[in-house]
Each structure stands twice: as structure tokens, then as C-alpha cells.
Amino acid sequence: MAGLHATVGQHTDATLLLTDAHERIEGTQERWFEAEVYRLTGEGLLRLSDSTGAEQVLQQALMVARQQGAKLWQLRAAKSLAQLYHKQGRGSEARDLLAPVYGTFTEGFDTPDMKEAASLLDKLG
């Protein structure tokens, strides 16, 4: 829901939902969606022009996804962070971050996440 609110410009509602999600994660210790909540939080910070805060939160999302072995969340976090790096003129860092994650996949190349990652990698050379 937070992602949908953010897409239509309802940033306050998105932020409230993500804050609630973080609180629920801490309260229940159910962490299977934690990396994606961090990623969405980072995306929200980018929409608010807080690239420093976004980078920190996206790195947290990537770290959590790696620790959990959650390949899809890792791909999404790496893609979001690589997009940020690309916009900052840090193309080689972006490629070095995203390419190894993308390379771990052996199927699902027709999914939107994989298509977006492939497109970004093409842009990065």
C-alpha cells in the first residue's frame, strides 16, 4: 500500500504506512518483508530529495536481504541503489553493485524486476 500511495504522490500516507510496518516488524520480530520495507522507505526519501538518507536506508535494505538470502529483495534493493548511484554519476559503482546480484538468477528473466535490472545494466554498460 505504501508503494501505491507514493506512486500517486500521497507521500504522507506512504510514510505513515512504512513507519507502521517498521514498528510491526520490531514488535512481532517477523522480518521476512523487512528488506522491502527499508527499500520502500529509501525510495520515499529519494522522492523527498534526501539522497543521503535514501542511500543509507537502501544499503540497509541490501544488507538485510543478503543476510536473509532473499534474492528478490536483494535484486530490488540493488536496483534502487544502483539507480541512485547512476543519477549521481557513479556508474561503475552502480554496475559493480547490480551485476553480481543479477548474475545469481537463472530464471525469471521475463519478470518486471529482472527486465528493469537488465535495462539498467545496459545503460551502465
Query: Domain locations in the chain?
Result: 2-124
pLDDT at 112 over 90: yes
Closest CA to 2 of 55, 60, 68, 47: 47
46, 52 contact by CB (below 8 A): no
Per-residue pLDDT of 4-43, as tens digits, reads 877 788 878 888 888 888 688 788 888 888 999 999 999 9
Neighbours of 114 (CB within 10 A): 17
Global pTM value: 0.89
> Which CATH number is associated with domain 2-124?
1.25.40.10
Between vectors from CA 116 to CA 114 and to CA 120, what angle results, nearest 5°?
Answer: 115
Question: CA 64, CA 87: separation in Å to the nearest integer?
Answer: 24
Neighbours of 4 (CB within 10 A): 11
